[in-house]
Amino acid sequence: MTASKIATEDTRPLLEKARSAMRGLHAVETGLADVTTRLRQARATVRPEEAVLDVALDAVLAGDPVPDDVGAQVLKIRRSNEMAFASAGILGPLERGLRERLLAVHRERADDALQVLAVELRTLLAEAAPVLGQLDGVNDADDAIAADRVQPWRQAVAMAARYAELRQAQRILVSAAVTPQSHTSDRVSGEARALVDDFGHVVDADRHYPEVGTDVNRSEVRIGESRIFAGRLVTSDHSDRPVRPRPWLTGDVITDLRFACRADVRAWVPVINELTRARDDHRKRTEAAARAAAERLPGDEPEPRLRTDRRMPPPGPELLSRLAREELGEPA
């Protein structure tokens, strides 16, 4: 790697890089951190006035006179407390306002950050595809050594780690936008995780994995069967078909990156509206198909049709003669 590339390469964590595109976020976070610190300090300076009484009592019990400045000490504590209460009275509402603004920025500017990740994803996949192409049949370090492909294997491992980091950053950004918390956090809600993992990795996810959106993505859980009961669509909690792991989220980051690089796969980082629309469209299709299947009675299967490339044979001469006699009214 050349010195110029080292100097220009952006090595920031992807989450930080994406968040830097959210206008106003840095100012709100900086201001909130400062206000929170000042508020904590103001509250810590509050002292009870009874502390002067305790000092005076200790002096008397020790045989000493009451300190002459007890009144001045009480006034000093009182003024200090008044200043702290006044500061807290302003800083408290200011902190709440900044927290509300922080949540608003995450909701309103999440798309800007997600678009940064989308660019990163396209770049990463373009770089990873030729490297993974050299690793056909290589699935671990031992295979790489045996096939003399150690260098491309190391590159693939680094790229897969970058890919996993990108997807985690995506989950965090979506979580802050769709399930905002009352405090700054990099935690991911279960709702946001399911949304991203089902519909935020590839376009037309159900084309590759029909079970997306079922909320039963563990291998020990089984897809239920739908039916109509009392006018409502209900789904049983068992079936004979176990749920397979998502092909883009197998637990092996190199396998996941390989799937994202496939020619028939369109990997993406959608903005919030695209993500929720993909979920909602899939839900509508699934519910419509399940309701149609549940309402279909036994024997309602469509009649078999002739193949479009086959034609009926032409009628024979006897049939044509009989039809002509019937049309003209002649006796048979």
Q: What is the pLDDT of residues 264-313, one digit of tens each?
A: 999 999 999 999 999 999 989 888 887 887 777 665 555 556 565 566 67
| SS3 at position 194 | helix
DSSP, residue by residue, 1-45: --HHHHHH---S-HHHHHHTTSTTHHHHHHHHHHHHHHHHHHHHT
> Which of 60, 56, 88 is closest to 72 using CA atoms?
56
d(CA 77, CA 327): 119
d(CA 182, CA 167): 23
Kindly state the DSSP code that residue 234 receives in the 8-state scheme: E
d(CA 129, CA 12): 23
Q: Residue 229: pLDDT above 50?
A: no
The predicted model gives 1-22 an average pLDDT of 67
Joined tokens for residue 15: 């989450």
- Point out the least confidently predicted range of 10-14, 48-52, 310-314: 310-314
Q: Residue 1: pLDDT above 50?
A: no
Fill in the amino acid letter for 14.
L
Asked if 159 and 128 count as a contact pair (C-beta separation under 8 A), the reply is yes
Prediction pTM value = 0.72
Axis crossing angle, helix 150-178 with helix 70-133, rounded to the nearest 10: 130
d(CA 150, CA 138): 10
